Amino acid sequence: MAERGLAAVLLPQLRAQLREARHTNAMLRTEAEMFEKWYHKMEPCGPSLRLLSEMHDASLELMQANAATVGQCWLSNSICIVPWFLQTRGRYKSKLHGAMDYFVGLTVEQKCELAERELTEMKDEIQRMKEESEQTLRNLEAVIEEADVWWTDVKKAISDFEKDIISTISRKKGSIIASEKLLRYMEEKNRQRDLLREKLRLKNYLLKGYKKKLQQQLRQKEQMGETLRKVRLQQLQVRNAQYQEKIDKKNQELLQLKLTSGKTVQVLNFYKRKLQDAMEMSMSLMKDISQRKELLEKIEREAALVEEQRAEAESVNRQLWKQLSNYGIPPVLSYVQKKMAVSDFENSLKAWERKVAVAEGMSNTSAVMQGALGFYTVLLCGVSRLPVAFRGETKAGVDLQELSSACHSEHRFQMSLQSYRRAWNQVKMSGNQH
């Protein structure tokens, strides 16, 4: 049971191996036949090759025997022989390889060359068979055309015979006229056949004479061709020498052209590299130019902005110079006098304050108080507008009109000083910007 199960498992594999072995055997047989045919064409068969062929045939027979054994894996009484085949297969294979190792086979290039020659011969054979089949087809077409012509003649003869003889015999059965007419018809046909035979004989005689004439002309041409062949051979030899010289010249020119082409290729490669370097340099220069253009545009924008600022500064400067040209300050003596007047005014103010305090205490009327307070307020406003530098001693008898004019002049001086300071600050700012 175990052997039966093993055989059931191995049977599909063995069948696949059998099909593969048969396919391989067929290919090897075809290859061996091709090699043997080419060997017989090239040289007589030697003893070593005969031995190799015998060994190859023996190997093929042994492989076929093994394949047959695989196909018949079950014998009578349910005895399986698959294990025996698996055991003996390795021994036969090793023996075959041991016997075949003594001989050197063909290389792959030689096999490929033989296969190409065989393929060429097969193509030539196919072409020859094609031409022969075409010739046979043309002959058969000619035979068919001839048969059609003969069949047309036969049908015409049959129709004439039925029209002339059969119709008469069917109408007049047993009459002498019908039999005589049949005899005359047969005699006429025989006479026409004799005439045709004589015509064909004469035509055959003329064709034979024409054939002899053509054969004689052919022999004459062959006899004359021997002498012409020698002359033609000499002419061909001379032409061959001339053509050989031309070929040598052309080969020299071709060699020179190859050398020139090599030099040209080298020069071309040199200029290609130079062109590539120039292109790279051109790309870098283009990038540099674009960067310089961007920088130039930026500088132009900044220059335009600076020009606007310069124009503004010039306008401010002109305004300042205009203000400076129209500006005037009092002389030093007047300044000292005004400071002395301010100090006198302050002293008088203090005195008036004391007087006002005394007057407030003594006066009970609201009119006097209001007048004194108004006067005191006017005095305080005038004093607050005067700088400390103007303080000094005053003369007695400075009236309020002088104090008022001094206050107004001091106020104008402060205003002009402030405008001068503002102009000076603007000049410094414009100088820092530049």
Using one digit for the tens of pLDDT, what is the confidence trace for 232-249? Answer: 788 888 888 898 898 988
d(CA 13, CA 375): 143
Q: What is the pLDDT of residue 418?
A: 63
Highest-pLDDT range among 24-33, 210-219, 251-260, 291-300: 291-300
Q: What is the pLDDT of residue 115?
A: 81
d(CA 155, CA 165): 15
Last residue of a domain, one of 80, 105, 130: 105
At residue 74, the 3 state secondary structure works out as: strand
More confident residue, 270 or 103: 270
160 in any annotated domain: no
Q: For the segment 418-432, what is each residue's pLDDT rounded down to a tens digit?
A: 665 565 566 556 545
Question: How many domains, in total, are found in the chain?
Answer: 3
Last residue of a domain, one of 52, 75, 105: 105
**Quick one: 171 exposed, middle or buried, by C-beta within 10 A (0-12, 13-18, 19+)?**
exposed
341 and 289 both lie in a single domain: no
d(CA 317, CA 18): 117
Q: What are 386's two structure tokens?
A: 């005067």
141 in any annotated domain: no
394 in any annotated domain: yes
252 in any annotated domain: yes
Lowest mean pLDDT across 26-35, 239-248, 256-265: 26-35
269 in any annotated domain: yes
Q: Long-range contact list for 1-5, CB < 8 A, 24+ apart?
A: 3/80, 3/82, 3/83, 4/78, 4/80
Q: What is the pLDDT of residue 173?
A: 57
286 and 340 both lie in a single domain: no
Does the pLDDT value for residue 219 go beyond 70? yes
Neighbours of 375 (CB within 10 A): 13
280 and 334 both lie in a single domain: no
| Separation of first and last alpha carbons in the chain | 117
Locus of tokens 């394949």: 67
Find the domain containing 271 and state its range.
Answer: 172-293
153 in any annotated domain: no
335 and 423 both lie in a single domain: yes
d(CA 208, CA 205): 5
349 and 263 both lie in a single domain: no
262 in any annotated domain: yes
Q: Helix %, strand %, coil % for the chain, to 5?
A: 90, 0, 10
Q: What is the pLDDT of residue 72?
A: 41
* Average pLDDT across the chain, whole number: 73
Q: What is the pLDDT of residue 393?
A: 39
d(CA 21, CA 31): 15
Confidence of residue 322 (pLDDT cuts 50, 70, 90): confident
338 and 285 both lie in a single domain: no
More confident residue, 315 or 79: 315
d(CA 331, CA 162): 174
pTM: 0.30
Sign of the CA dihedral with 369 first, then 371, 374, and 379 last: negative
188 and 289 both lie in a single domain: yes
Last residue of a domain, one of 105, 130, 159: 105
More confident residue, 218 or 93: 218
218 and 265 both lie in a single domain: yes
Q: What is the pLDDT of residue 337?
A: 83
Q: What angle, rounded to 10 degrees, do the helices at 400-433 and 176-326 form? A: 140
419 in any annotated domain: yes
Q: For the segment 162-188, what is each residue's pLDDT rounded down to a tens digit?
A: 877 777 766 655 556 667 777 887 888
In percent, how much of the chain has pLDDT > 90? Answer: 19
Q: What is the pLDDT of residue 175?
A: 59
CB proximity list for 147: less than 8 A, separation 6 or greater: none
Does the pLDDT value for residue 144 go beyond 90? yes
